[in-house]
Amino acid sequence: MRSKTPLICLLASISIASATHLSDSLLNKVYNVMNEINVESWENGTKSIAIIESKYPDLSVFTSNTPFSVLNGLQSGQISEIIGIAETTMNNRPASNNSASARGGGTLLTDGAAGDPASLGIAILLANASTNNQQVKGVGYGDAATAELDYLLYDVPRTSSGAISHRADQAQLWSDSVYMVPPFLAYYGAYHNNQTLLQDAYQQCSLYRDTLKQSNGLWNHIMLGSGTSDPHDWATGNAWAATGMLRVWATITKSSFASDMSSQMNDLQSWIEEIFDASSGYITSDGLFHNYISDNSSFKDTSGTALMASTGLRLSTLNITDNYVPNSLKLLAAVSSYINSTGYLTQVVNPYDFTKEGTYSPEGQSFVVMAYAAYKEWDSLGRKGSNAGKDDPLGSSSSALKQFALPGISAGLISAVLGIWAMI
């Protein structure tokens, strides 16, 4: 009997440790993996946003500050990780397209997608603001940002309704684009006090929704054009759309035109909530979304789930609504349990073949970083909307009992302890 007390204490401390979110050391591993494995234009762009939200929140549209007032005094040393991404982008920028004044060929990168390179536009704007249009390979950051803007506005094919294509060779709409393009148009517009660009950002969200929204409120992934097609409610695509619209909403609030644009903000809010409302009934009992949200024969995907969790918490930190907090905590707890000890998010959709499960996901790593930035801010603002107010619902999910909160204590140790217990 005498040996039972310390064992009880050990068991109790394990279960207390497990009732928490990702440890900072494991979160750092997630961050480092994110830094190492991103390759494609949209991945680097998404990573830049994850870095801004987690390391340089004053420059994010999601905090209570106004990033555009901070931009003027910005020093490049303050945002070295963003400068690194911007510099890489400028080095990869197509050489024959380096004339900022020429309207043709202003894209930051050529990879077949018209929309994806725009995800790097905010990083380029920040690099410009902090270096005063410093040149890389003979082109200034600011000139490259303006050329990218002009490319989107004047060169990329459009649908008959005016939606800017996600593809460079034809008019085809992908829900992904709502994350890549409108937030850049909006950020550029808010920074340069240009309401037309803010309106364009709103309008693009509206036009994409017109084509992609299904009758149940969820969005299809890819419509129109030829070749690739994916007329299904891809989880990551719904998350891209909801998050992109929330970034536009937040940018408008931070701009000098917020009071003029309340009806646009109301629309964006209802379109975001429409996705959250339509998806909530499809959260699985273990706290994830299927890769195709309403198709329970598709595998469960942690990557799109992570971005939905992040955005649900941002709806709370932005004081829009706390209604999606309980589900978002459940989603984030489940996602966290799929992060392995080397910091990889597992059971993810393959970002290069969106119908299949993959073994790792660069964008998924960024989504987890964003989700924890959102979670930490939500926590610091008083945990609005959580069930009891004081509990940690992230840890109360049964799935959270896996290993994620126990970087130093393996399942093997737990069973060894349980084994000793059984032998007593």
Give whichever of 163 and 197 is closer to ligand NAG, judged by the CB atom: 197
Give whichever of 11 and 153 is closer to ligand NAG, judged by the CB atom: 153
Minimum Å gap between C-beta 6 and ligand NAG is 30
Minimum Å gap between C-beta 339 and ligand NAG is 9
Q: Beta-carbon neighbour count of residue 121 at 10 Å?
A: 27
Minimum Å gap between C-beta 371 and ligand NAG is 18
Minimum Å gap between C-beta 424 and ligand NAG is 32
Q: Please tell me the distance from the alpha carbon of residue 405 to that of residue 401, in angstroms, as a whole number.
A: 8
Considering only the C-alpha atoms of the chain, give the largest distance between any 2 of them, rounded to a whole number of Å: 83
54, 212, 287, 320, 327 from 332: Cα distances, Å: 16, 26, 8, 20, 9
Structure tokens at 287: 């706290």
Give whichever of 19 and 338 is closer to ligand NAG, judged by the CB atom: 338
Give whichever of 19 and 187 is closer to ligand NAG, judged by the CB atom: 187
Closest CA to 236 of 384, 102, 78, 366: 366
Minimum Å gap between C-beta 356 and ligand NAG is 14
- Match 């990780």 to its residue by tokens: 81
Give whichever of 109 and 309 is closer to ligand NAG, judged by the CB atom: 109
Closest CA to 212 of 244, 189, 186: 244
Give whichever of 216 and 296 is closer to ligand NAG, judged by the CB atom: 296
Q: What residues does 234 pair with on adjacent strands? A: 292
86, 142, 256, 310, 343 from 329: Cα distances, Å: 33, 39, 33, 9, 20
User: Which residues contact ligand NAG (rule: CB under 6 A)?
Assistant: 38-41, 44, 64, 88-89, 92, 94, 96-97, 105, 107, 109-110, 125, 128-129, 132-133, 142, 145-146, 149, 153, 194, 196-197, 296, 318-319, 340-342, 344, 346, 359-360
Minimum Å gap between C-beta 5 and ligand NAG is 34
